[in-house]
Amino acid sequence: MVYKDLPLSRTFTLTSRVLLIPQAAMIAKVLLIAALAAVSLALPYRAPAYGYEEKYAPQPFDFGYETNDHYGTTTFRKENGDGHGRVQGSYGYKDLNGIERVVEYVADEHGYRADIKTNEPGTESQNPANVLLHASPVVVDAPKAYAAPRPLYQAPRYAAPAYPKY
């Protein structure tokens, strides 16, 4: 076949090949049916399931630690549990200046209860939200008033120079 032998209304050009319109229509129908089949057979996306969370019965435990840093602060924690969900323990710190806070707590079927002992400045004994707070702040003296530095000795006084008159 030669291009000039075919009527223009009956040809379809695709990458320098000549196809008849009925063949192109058939290929388009097959591609359309394949696309519809792919869409209809596609499964909806389901997020991967990583399994269920296993429930473990509480185990009795007892642990603690104490640390000292290079600033002179000591921190500690001690905690134990009885294996039935009741936990009690304490944690706290003491710094180089003597500021100290110790929290003793119990967590059981009645909730979390804490007893705090501190000597931090600005605290007072209050008992908010089921917490006992025993404050004994350190009394810090007010800083001395600033004064400009004064010389430790009397500055020498010199008489003005006197020049002879000629």
CB of 76 closer than 8 Å to CB of 94: no
- The pLDDT tens digits for 40-76 are 888 888 877 777 778 888 889 999 999 999 999 999 9
pLDDT at 140: 67
CB of 136 closer than 8 Å to CB of 124: no
pLDDT at 165: 85
Tell how far CA 110 is from the center of its chain: 30
Closest CA to 86 of 55, 114, 60, 63: 60
Structure tokens at 100: 């100290």
Query: From first to last of its 166 residues, what are the pLDDT tens digits of the chain?
Result: 455 555 555 555 555 455 557 788 888 899 999 999 888 888 888 877 777 778 888 889 999 999 999 999 999 999 999 988 899 999 999 998 888 999 999 999 988 888 888 888 877 777 666 666 677 766 667 778 888 888 788 888 888 888 888 8
pLDDT at 51: 77
Neighbours of 118 (CB within 10 A): 19
CA-to-CA distance for 64 and 89, rounded, in angstroms?
9
Neighbours of 116 (CB within 10 A): 19
What is the value of pTM for the model shown?
0.47
CB of 127 closer than 8 Å to CB of 143: no
Q: Where are the beta strands (DSSP E) in the chain?
A: 11-14, 17-20, 61-68, 74-81, 87-94, 100-108, 111-118, 131-135
pLDDT at 133: 67
CA-to-CA distance for 10 and 147, rounded, in angstroms?
108
